[in-house]
Amino acid sequence: MKVASLSEQEKAPLDSLEQWEDDLLLRYPEPEHKAKDEYRNYDNPGRDTVREFYRLNHTYQTYDFVMEKEREFLKFDKKEMPVWGVAEFLNTLIDDSDPDTDLDQLQHLLQTSEAIRADGHPDWFVLTGFLHDMGKVLCLFGEPQWAVVGDTFPVGCRHSDRIVYPEFFELNPDSKDERYNTKYGVYEPNCGLRNVHMSWGHDEYLYQMMKPYMPEPALYMMRYHSFYAQHREHAYDHLMDDHDREMFKWVNKFNPYDLYSKSPKPPVVSELKPYYEDLIAKYLPDTIRL
């Protein structure tokens, strides 16, 4: 399957990237809001685009597709720019169709990181909040929405029925391939997630980009913050080792900031920029390759 052969509707079934994140809040609401079971009401017409998004994601995110994307993008030969420039570049991804917020992509990043900073976490944790969605620049390189956002999951082994909309995996060729459709597939029991290939998206892209620079807990947050089948549903314990379990404590600390830190009040970018430029300089090189 070549991305170039997809229709525009297949590349962008969602009204905006934020529609996926809004749907996460229906599935995993804050405790004081409605129960998660209500998410299973599929009769809401407003959910049709989300269902189509996951149909495409679950159909096309095969083991071979992930290998192809790793070869294409992990050369990091698309652009080179300062990290703050990457955030500004991400702002060219305009979501005029999102009615719930007037915030741009940079302000979304700052909301997450400022909530983390307000709670007194280490500065690398704050920087992780600022960086965590930068991998969405994949959209600016022509990637379809379902290869940029969405719940992530291991490829190369049986798909868990605890992944959202599991019925759509029947359309995935790997579900009929005996190399990939068993419990462990190409992996060994408790082999550790470092040996597992995840579905392709902004999480994996950013993780690979930042691997030389950021502390290991930060890298776990980046790589697995959309791996809801594990950090919320515990569906892949059989692939994890003890080190993964220890590191996932950090993923669990990060997840509430990812889901629940949105606010209609915009951060004042000009006031925050000097702090973040100093923080970036502490951990990252002058420029980063995309």
Q: List per-residue pLDDT tens for the chain, 290 residues long.
A: 666 678 888 999 998 888 888 889 888 888 655 555 555 554 565 568 999 999 999 999 999 999 999 999 999 999 999 999 999 999 887 543 343 445 788 988 999 999 999 999 999 999 999 999 999 999 999 999 999 999 999 999 999 999 999 999 999 999 999 999 999 999 999 999 999 999 999 999 999 999 999 999 999 999 999 999 999 999 999 999 999 999 999 999 999 998 888 777 889 999 999 999 999 999 999 999 99
Tally of structural domains, the chain: 1
Task: Say if pTM beats, i.e. exceeds, 0.85.
Answer: yes
The string of pLDDT tens digits covering residues 210-237 is: 999 999 999 999 999 999 999 999 999 9
The string of pLDDT tens digits covering residues 91-119 is: 887 543 343 445 788 988 999 999 999 99
DSSP-assigned letters across all residues of 171-231: GSGGGG-TTTSSSSTTS-TT--GGG-PBPPSHHHHHHHHHTTTS-HHHHHHHHHTT-HHHH
- State how far the Cα of 152 lies from the Cα of 48, in Å rounded to an integer: 20
Q: Are 280 and 124 in contact (CB under 8 A)?
A: no
Return the ∠ at Cα 134 (arms to 133 and 136), rounded to 5°.
80
At 1 the pLDDT is 63
Q: Are 179 and 185 in contact (CB under 8 A)?
A: yes
At 144 the pLDDT is 96
At 188 the pLDDT is 98
Range of the domain at 229: 3-289
User: Residue 253, class by beta-carbon neighbours within 10 Å (0-12 exposed, 13-18 middle, 19+ buried)?
Assistant: middle
